[in-house]
Amino acid sequence: MQEDLQNNSSGLQDNNDELYERFSITIDKGQEPLRIDKFLMRRLENATRNKLQQDINTGMVLVNGKEVRPNYKVKPGDSIIIYSDMSPEETDVVPEKIELNIVYEDEHLMTINKPAGRVVHPGSGNYSGTLLNGVAWHLQQQNPAVSEETLPRFGLVHRIDKNTSGLLVLAKTDMAMRQLAKQFFDHTVKRQYVALVWGDMENDKGTIIAHVGRHQRFRKLFEAYPEGEHGKEAITHYRVLERFGYVTLVECVLETGRTHQIRVHMKHIGHPLFNDDFYGGDKIVKGTVYSKYKQFIDNCFAICPRQALHAKTLGLVHPATGKEIFFDTELPDDMKQVTERWRNYCSSAGKIK
């Protein structure tokens, strides 16, 4: 007996920033009636009975486009869609009082401007002090009944790198979580980043299309695979905002959300992010290495001691009202200061090189 099982994943795997996978299953004609939680236990890797029942109860499992209960019995021809965090790592989120820069909040969702240096969620080596620890404390001050069981991972549906600053949206209800997870999977969320990259980009705008996946030798790194032989499809649109000869300020709009996507794509086209120690941007990539210039670069690195990348804007459909909402932030101080230094440096040089 076979089912048509497709992992249309945009979820928490090796190379995604969206935290939910989507599975679609069409039930075979020979399937005997069986509780849906038991049926899915046998089909989905890393699934547990409790986790599946939680997903079903929160509407993350749809049968023929409708929510069901855990005791629903599947039948031949049923079309099942599952949105679920299938990560094998389960780390408790302990509430901690951490200052949060909340840009917007209502009863359904909250948008946070994350500072560089803050890990988004607990995991190996980072069990406390993360953004989610602070979110857990914040939400439990509003409603002590809120827990990781009632709101999985406290509403997180996507993430950004530790040393990337910028906007994150979190759900505050099961319904909002379901709606937001679907928007991220369908790539309808509008995300604009601003990055400072090495070199003078040849074109004022363009599109980078290259799969992104883990490096074949160095598993902490990701790599671009333009032929699509590894990884998952990744598309980044870019536009030049300002040129400084040695570096360029660019706007990047994501069509997909792969881990390190902008960093990997920019390295792939020869323009690694300024001070990106993972992808070669933490050394002089453009410009002659002489003492005065090197000192200028070192000073810039000291001011912005991380990859110069900021998740500036975020647009989505509000899960309750159905209206489009849009959030925008200013560049953080470290990127502002470095950009201004480059502007002054090129101006004093008399021309852009």
pLDDT band at 20 (very low <50, low <70, confident <90, very high): low
| Angle separating helix axes 333-349 and 291-303, nearest 10 degrees | 160
The amino acid occupying position 192 is Q
Task: Report the pLDDT value the prediction gives residue 322, as an integer from 0 to 100.
Answer: 95
Tell me the whole-structure pTM to 2 decimals.
0.82
* DSSP assignment of 136-199: HHHHHHH-TT--TTTSGGGGB-B---TT-EEEEEEESSHHHHHHHHHHHHTT-SEEEEEEEEES
Is the CB of residue 280 less than 8 Å from the CB of residue 286? no
pLDDT given at position 16: 58
Q: Which of the four pLDDT bands, split at 50, 70 and 90, describes residue 43? A: confident
List the helix and strand counts (H, then E) for the chain.
Answer: 7, 18
pLDDT of residue 53: 82
Average pLDDT over residues 229-241: 93
Residues 6+ apart with CB under 8 A from 76: 27, 28, 29, 30, 31
**Residue 281, pLDDT above cutoff 90:** yes
**pLDDT at 10 > cutoff 60:** no
Taking 70 as the threshold, does the pLDDT of residue 129 lie above it? yes
**Which of 161, 276, 282, 334 is flagged as catalytic?**
161
The share of the chain scoring above pLDDT 70, in percent, equals 90
**Averaged pLDDT, 245-253:** 97
Share of the chain above pLDDT 90, in %: 57
Stated length of the chain: 353
Catalytic site includes residue 200: no
Position 320 pLDDT exceeds 80: yes
User: Domains in the chain, start-ordered, CATH in brackets?
Assistant: 4-84 (3.10.290.10), 102-185 (3.30.2350.10), 190-349 (3.30.2350.10)
Q: What are the residues facing 253 on neighbouring strands? A: 192, 237
- Can you tell me the distance from the alpha carbon of 148 to that of 12, in angstroms, rounded to the nearest whole number? 17
What's the pLDDT score for residue 18?
A: 63
How confident is the prediction for the chain on average, in pLDDT? 87
Closest CA to 182 of 12, 22, 3, 7: 22
pLDDT computed for residue 104 by the predictor: 97
Q: Judge whether residue 85 has pLDDT over 80.
A: no
pLDDT at 306: 97
